[in-house]
Amino acid sequence: MKKERRFDIDWIRVLAFDILILYHVGLYFVPWHYHINNNETVDWMSYPMFFIHQWRIPILFVISGMGTRFALSNKTGAEYIKERFIKLFIPLMVGILVVVSPQVYIERLVQGKATGSFFEFFPSFFLGVYPEGNFSWHHLWFLPYLLLMSVLSTPLFLKLKNEKNKLVISLSKLFERSPWSLFIFALPLLLVEISLRPSFPITHTLLGDWYALASYSILFISGYMLISIGQSFWKAIDRTKRYSLFLGVISFLILLSRWDNVEDNIFISTVRVLNLWCWILTIFAYASKYLNRESKVIRYRNQAVYPFYILHQAIILFIGYFLINNSLHYMWKFVIMVIGTFGISWIIYEFIVRRIKILRPLFGMKVSQSFNTSSRPPNTA
């Protein structure tokens, strides 16, 4: 496979993490469980967040699979696994100690379970596993899941890497004949949805999280295969984009109508998977049409997205802690938290992480990258 930059995939990745940050800010206001919540809940925010929640994590695993295909194009399996370890495990360990521990401290302060300074609290961070204890990886759960999938999938990916692979060739021809064959990839998701979701609710604790592991792994492998198929995939999603958009809207409205009384039956499971897959296909189709062009903005943002992801939730909780009982209208709080989260993340990234070589690998960045925003960014998942 020829190694080429897909700027639309870069944009989807960046915008998906932007949405993740907005989603986490939103969790502070809605009547759902979050680490800390505003003193006033905002019910209407639950509706756009319910919509985003259906596909926000799945699309990240599809993108990660696509990024893996590019990363493996000029690497051996051993080189790829080594790179994954450096880019995922090291930031995870650093993030747990430096970014997650203050989050737990803030949560315990709000709950009245901690007093004194953060440094006095820090030794207790290692006492027990969250939520009963304090030790956690919080929002960084994505990293160990992706690392495990990357390692376990490498033998399969090395076989699919061959341009003469019969499965990839067959799927390419199938997409050319019938673009609706794209929905073949939703079938294993539906099987997992029906068989595992009722018994294994998502925990993000890795061990025993069988539904999440199976579902995310399918999405990860699907991303790898779809990008391997190449132009047949891009042509197929372009031909079906209006239909996938329509089906995405209809399936979401069905889920919304059953929000207060959703049972895990075959019908709802089918609608849920259809909704998820339609929005993924729709987003890729329209991004391919409108965003697949080079710009300094996407080069810069693609380098910054990983540090932003690591940092953002600690900043959200820090700002939220000082606003929690403030009498400001919730919209002003929302604006302050969004601007503050993106702004502080950018300041830390631009003036600290990006410029201090020893810190760059701790946030998943290459030590040797240039400060020039027009330089080619790393092809990370």
Q: Is residue 247 part of a domain?
A: yes
Domain span including residue 357: 7-363
Q: Is residue 271 part of a domain?
A: yes
Neighbours of 308 (CB within 10 A): 23
- Taking each helix axis from N to C end, the angle separating 210-229 and 142-160, rounded to the nearest 10 degrees, works out to 40
* CA 235 remoteness from chain centre: 25
Domain count, the chain: 1
Cβ–Cβ under 8 Å, residues 281 and 12? no
Per-position pLDDT tens, the chain of length 381:
555 679 999 999 999 999 999 999 999 999 998 999 999 999 999 999 999 999 999 999 999 999 999 999 888 999 999 999 999 999 999 999 999 999 999 999 999 999 999 999 999 999 999 999 999 999 999 999 999 999 999 999 999 988 788 999 999 999 999 999 999 999 999 999 999 999 999 999 999 999 999 999 999 999 999 999 999 999 999 999 999 999 999 999 999 988 776 667 899 999 999 999 999 999 999 999 999 999 999 999 999 999 999 999 999 999 999 999 999 999 999 999 999 999 999 999 999 999 999 999 999 999 865 544 433 333 334
Q: Is residue 255 part of a domain?
A: yes
Q: Is residue 379 part of a domain?
A: no
Q: Is residue 57 part of a domain?
A: yes
Q: Is residue 184 part of a domain?
A: yes
Burial class of residue 248 in the structure, from the number of CB atoms within 10 Å of its CB (0-12 exposed, 13-18 middle, 19+ buried): buried
- Dist CA 181 CA 173 (whole Å): 10
Q: Is residue 372 part of a domain?
A: no
Q: Is residue 375 part of a domain?
A: no
